[in-house]
Amino acid sequence: MCEKNSLRSMYKSIRKELKSEQKDNVITKTLLENFDFSSWFVYLSFGSETGTAKLIEELKNRGKEICVPLVKGKEMFSVPLTDKLKKGAFGILEPEEGENTLCEVSVVPMLAFGEEGYRLGYGGGFYDRYFAEHPDVFRLGIAYEGQFCREKFFEKFDEPLDALVTEEKVRCFSARARSLKCGS
């Protein structure tokens, strides 16, 4: 088991070097070709995170329901996307308010990912707690292929992804992902 804070620092730098609008566009295209849900809980990307602006635009064009994170204290809620956004926790844009809305799929950010479907986040545990409370939500990670980490970094409270899309391929980790013919 590696020290998570060291890995976070290392992969934050790696991700910054990998950041590419072209890769983001490939990830969005691949994601939309492989997954079709009617309601989407999508993070609003910032910094070097895999971009979600194009994904959100495409989902809107397809008439999908779109929710985004709203953080209050130690809790994260899925609320409908509105035009009125403010800087919230950690300087991330979020709606001013909204009703907690359960979506079919959650698109998840990360610093790194492992072979078993676990993700290395920023350390706040927001997504792990959210998924523990909402186990039926399909967990779909997006990242750059260079964010793959061979080290074992997950702990007992970490919640694994169902699938992950990079600019190179789709990985299916769960039986429910494989039942969707994930990556085929």
Rg for the chain, CA atoms, rounded: 15
Contact status, residue 104 vs residue 37, Cβ threshold 8 Å = yes
Contact status, residue 94 vs residue 88, Cβ threshold 8 Å = yes
For the entire predicted model, the pTM comes to 0.92
Structure tokens at 60: 């809107």
Structure tokens at 145: 């292929």
Contact status, residue 80 vs residue 98, Cβ threshold 8 Å = yes
Query: Given the structure tokens 């909204």, which residue do they identify?
Result: 98
Please provide the DSSP assignment of 40-105 as one string.
EEE----TTSPP-HHHHHHHHHTT-EEEEEEEETTEEEEEE--S-EEE-GGG-EEES-------SE
Does any domain span residue 9?
yes
Contact status, residue 12 vs residue 111, Cβ threshold 8 Å = yes
* Count of C-beta atoms within a 10 Å radius of residue 151: 15
Does any domain span residue 129?
yes
Identify the pLDDT of residue 69. Answer: 96
Calculate ∠ Cα 69-165-159, nearest 5°.
55
pLDDT tens track of the chain, all 184 residues?
458 778 888 899 999 999 999 999 999 999 999 999 999 999 999 989 999 999 999 999 999 999 999 999 889 999 999 988 999 877 889 998 999 999 999 999 999 999 889 898 887 889 989 999 999 999 999 999 999 988 777 766 778 999 999 999 999 999 999 888 776 5
Does any domain span residue 180?
no
Residue numbers of the domain that contains 102 = 4-175
Does any domain span residue 13?
yes
Does any domain span residue 135?
yes
Identify the pLDDT of residue 184. Answer: 57
What single-letter amino acid sits at 94?
E
Does any domain span residue 181?
no
Does any domain span residue 161?
yes
| CATH number (domain holding residue 54) | 3.40.50.10420
Return the DSSP state at 7.
Answer: H
Identify the pLDDT of residue 183. Answer: 64
Structure tokens at 7: 């890995």
Identify the pLDDT of residue 1. Answer: 44
Does any domain span residue 183?
no
Strands 85-87 and 93-95: antiparallel
Strands 119-120 and 112-113: antiparallel
The total domain count for the chain is 1
Identify the pLDDT of residue 6. Answer: 85
